[in-house]
Amino acid sequence: MGLKGAVPITLATFPLLAGVPQSQLIFNAVFFVVLISAIIQGWSLPLVARRLHIGRQADPTPALSVEIHALRHVDGEIVDYTVKPGAQVAGQQLCDLTLPDGVLVKLILRGKQVVMPRGSTPLKPGDHVFVALRTRLQPLIDRLFDPEPEAPSLPADLALSFNASTTVEQLHQFFGLPLPVTGGASSPAQSLGSLLPAAGPSSAARLGRFRLQPGDDVDLVTVNTGRADRG
């Protein structure tokens, strides 16, 4: 019955311990109410859910679980995602996911088979994908595995690093945004690295609502979100 039943029953024992008059009646009444509530809700909840068409099949349980225990808070998580039909990642190879720096696919479970992730590894519906990521990036990665993602809401001060070979189309697909109308200034197949002017580390370029700057590594481009009139 969980906490909803354990807590009332536990609290009902306090009058017994304190010797309150009629405390036995109080305990019996609480125990009876909890028991009836659990029985009625237990068998009726699946029926009501199916009748209201809000029930769904439970996700398959992975054959392997991964747990990390840290003595101190760290800026990182390992999240177990289930690839569902209709999700953006379903059927895609890992090399086509356009994941930002700070996100790494560590392990894939396909049934009882362990699949070591490679760039050419496709993600199939039903796969369990263990992803190591920075905590602040989890909402963005959640959208990739959600078959019905909500409209993206990007903070104005978000800074992510992508590989310089990432194309304009891949960047907007990652954020769930339509391609900008740039009047021919850039094409969907153009890489982010090619959009940066060769003016040194302080150079920057504007791509719709994104501001592009050289990353900390020569193979990275930092993408800053914000309004087009900023920067």
Q: What is the pLDDT of residues 112-122, one digit of tens each?
A: 889 999 989 99
pLDDT confidence tier of residue 70, bands split at 50, 70 and 90: low
Q: At residue 197, does pLDDT exceed 90?
A: no
Q: At residue 152, does pLDDT exceed 60?
A: yes
Q: Is there a domain that residue 19 lies in? A: yes
Residue 98 Rama label (left phi>0; alpha psi -120 to 50; beta):
left
Q: Which of 144, 177, 201 is the last residue of a domain?
A: 144
Q: Is there a domain that residue 57 lies in? A: no
Q: Is there a domain that residue 89 lies in? A: yes
- Report the C-alpha gap between 21 and 217 in whole angstroms: 75
Query: Which pLDDT tens digit goes with each residue over 126-143?
Result: 999 999 998 888 888 999
Number of domains in the chain: 3
| Same domain, yes or no: 217 and 169 | yes
| Same domain, yes or no: 138 and 167 | no
| Same domain, yes or no: 173 and 138 | no
| Same domain, yes or no: 81 and 140 | yes
Q: What average pLDDT does the segment 87-100 reach? A: 91
| Same domain, yes or no: 170 and 135 | no
- CATH code assigned at 219: 3.30.465
Q: Is there a domain that residue 183 lies in? A: yes
| Same domain, yes or no: 219 and 164 | yes
Q: At residue 55, does pLDDT exceed 80?
A: no
pLDDT confidence tier of residue 2, bands split at 50, 70 and 90: low
Q: Is there a domain that residue 204 lies in? A: yes
Q: What is the pLDDT of residue 228?
A: 45
| Same domain, yes or no: 98 and 135 | yes
Q: Is there a domain that residue 36 lies in? A: yes
Question: Which residue shows structure tokens 């945004």?
Answer: 177
Q: Is there a domain that residue 111 lies in? A: yes
Q: Is there a domain that residue 56 lies in? A: no
Domain of residue 44: give its range: 2-51
